Amino acid sequence: MMITFYFGDTKDMPMYEQLYKYLKEAIENNELHADEKLPSKRKLAAHLKISQTTIETAYMQLLAEGYIRSVPKVGYFVLSHLVFPKKRKVKETIKKKEVVTYAYDFKTNMVDADDFPYQKYAKIEREIILDKLSKSINKMDYFGLYSFREKIADILFAYRGIEAAPEQIVIGSGSEHLISLLVLLLGRDKLILTEDPSYIKNYLLYKEYGARVDVCDLDDQGMSIDQLKSLSADVIHITPAHQYPTGIITPISRRIELLDWVNENDHRYIVEDDYDSEFRFTGNPIPALKVLDEFDKVIYMNSFSKSISPSIRVSFMVLPRKLVKRYQESFSYFSCSVPITTQLALQAFIESNEFEKHLNRMKNIYKNKRDTLIKFLNLHFGHRISIKGSDAGLHFLVEIKTDLKEDQLIELAKKQSIRVYGLGEYYIKRIKRYPYPILIFGYSHLKLEDIENACVYLRQAWKEI
């Protein structure tokens, strides 16, 4: 049987690919039958008025995929054992998750998108690709690029007082990757505690990666030491410099108690999540718990999410030396999940002092936004609100003296297209009851004029308080 086929626009698809797809579909639909001989390249080329090379390329692709077989000096035949499942229409389509957007959203996981030095960073990236990438393109250190880890070590010492060797630093694409490594490194048999309330995502990550995970309540100094001692935990994941979301700063007395707890057992560890320590607006930065870690039992974790952007997906952790040895012995088959170009670009961004300039500039910008938000909240609500935890980080709490419930305030705000977040949304198991509802306000991504407008609409939403 001679095959007749009409070619379409070759700009959209080469002729050989059009013919290959036509023949493939004909075989799948049983229009070309098992063991049926295909026309010779010469005859089919003459019939379709195309080159034999085009016919051969199409046949070779079908042969490579196993649709036809070649018999030397005889020709090409459709395979005899091909049985394709019947095609059916999909009755149900996967619905895209609906994302609700608001005119003003006080979320806490975003940064200012307008004031990043895009031109300078783009210039650095171009220079990296043209001048330096060739020297590192085949480097695949599972800890991350060594020269980049050296710069991170410098930053940790300069900003957090942490003395860490580059060999202790592991780079990963966000907390998701680092937590997965920690679960494998520490073992799924370990009981890991997260704070309650906390960044719930971390609790869920530990759980989904198969770890034994529970929560520990907070008191006014951070993770409750009494409850911690009663839970037989092996690892705790805490945010001592600026607890998320309450803003509690763990004082030195509690830090010493936590270190005493971890040092009681050789298999215990503390994961110090230092997620937004770069931003403190009054006084000096709160020292990292890792600085006090005399017995090397604290796993320090941080990222560039707040200082640069959450979408850049670069996080890192400092492993105790004992865990470094275990990581070297058991995880050398892993690959660093951050692209080499991103690591090189960030390294150059730090080396050029642009990172330090950017950080200092953003501290002033965020302080101005914080002050503006506090100003307008006080203007519209006055003595009916109490602001807590505004000295550090990129969010603070607002206690509202009202008979309304937390969820009622949230719903009233939504009606004005404003999203605010209740402290109760961050509890995992045991919601603590407060005399008045407490809401969480993030402000880093908002424009100054949006902050003022949002407060005006909030006043309209909460006119009943």
pLDDT tier at 91 (50, 70, 90 boundaries)?
low
Rounded mean pLDDT, 240-262:
95
Structural contact between residues 136 and 293, judged by C-beta atoms closer than 8 angstroms = no
pLDDT tier at 268 (50, 70, 90 boundaries)?
very high
CB atoms within 10 A of CB 433: 6
Structure confidence at residue 392 (pLDDT) = 83
Question: Comparing 229-238, 274-283, 356-365, 441-450, which segment has the lowest mean pLDDT?
Answer: 274-283
Structure confidence at residue 68 (pLDDT) = 94
Identify which of 131-135, 156-160, 298-302 has the greatest average pLDDT: 298-302
Structure confidence at residue 87 (pLDDT) = 64
Mean pLDDT of the chain, nearest integer: 92
Structure confidence at residue 433 (pLDDT) = 82
Q: Give me the amino acid identity at 331.
A: F
Interior/surface letters 114-124, b for 16+ CB within 10 angstroms, e for the rest: eeeeeeebeeb
Question: Residue 89 pLDDT more than 70?
Answer: no
- Per-residue pLDDT of 92-144, as tens digits, reads 666 777 788 999 999 998 999 898 898 999 999 999 888 878 887 777 789 99
Domains of the chain: 15-78 (1.10.10.10), 104-108+357-461 (3.90.1150.10), 118-351 (3.40.640.10)
- Per-residue pLDDT of 426-451, as tens digits, reads 999 878 888 899 999 999 999 999 99
CA neighbor of 45 nearest in space, from 54, 36, 37, 57: 54
DSSP secondary-structure letter at 392? Answer: B
| Torsion angles phi and psi, residue 403, rounded to 5 | -85, -10
Instruction: Please measure the distance between the N-terminal and C-terminal CA atoms of the chain and give it in whole angstroms.
Output: 84
Identify which of 82-91, 113-122, 248-257, 303-312 has the greatest average pLDDT: 248-257
The DSSP code sequence of 136-198 is: HTT---TT--HHHHHHHHHHIIIII-----GGGEEEESSHHHHHHHHHHHH-TTSEEEEEESS
Structure confidence at residue 346 (pLDDT) = 95
Q: Strands across the sheet with 212-219, in order? A: 169-172, 315-318, 298-303, 269-273, 235-238, 191-196, 212-219, 222-223
- Per-residue pLDDT of 342-394, as tens digits, reads 999 999 999 999 999 999 999 999 999 999 999 999 999 999 999 998 988 89
CA neighbor of 246 nearest in space, from 142, 399, 374, 119: 399
CB atoms within 10 A of CB 374: 18
CB atoms within 10 A of CB 249: 19
Structural contact between residues 279 and 306, judged by C-beta atoms closer than 8 angstroms = yes
Task: Provide the whole-model pTM.
Answer: 0.84
Q: Is 21 helix (H, G, I), strand (E, B) or coil?
A: helix
pLDDT tier at 1 (50, 70, 90 boundaries)?
low
Structural contact between residues 152 and 316, judged by C-beta atoms closer than 8 angstroms = yes
- Per-residue pLDDT of 384-416, as tens digits, reads 999 998 988 899 999 999 999 999 999 999 999
Residues ≥6 apart with Cβ < 8 Å to 234: 186, 190, 191, 192, 265, 267, 268, 269
CB atoms within 10 A of CB 354: 16
Q: Locate tokens 């995880």: which residue?
A: 331
Structure confidence at residue 190 (pLDDT) = 95
- Rounded to the nearest 10 degrees, the angle between the axes of helix 354-381 and helix 340-351 is 90
Structure confidence at residue 420 (pLDDT) = 97
Rounded mean pLDDT, 21-39:
91
| Torsion angles phi and psi, residue 436, rounded to 5 | -130, 155
- Angstrom CA distances, 354 to 123, 124, 348, 423, stand at 12, 10, 9, 36
- Angstrom CA distances, 412 to 104, 122, 227, 298, 395, stand at 13, 43, 37, 43, 21
CA neighbor of 197 nearest in space, from 388, 394, 438, 441: 438
- Per-residue pLDDT of 159-205, as tens digits, reads 999 999 999 999 999 999 999 999 999 999 999 999 999 999 999 99
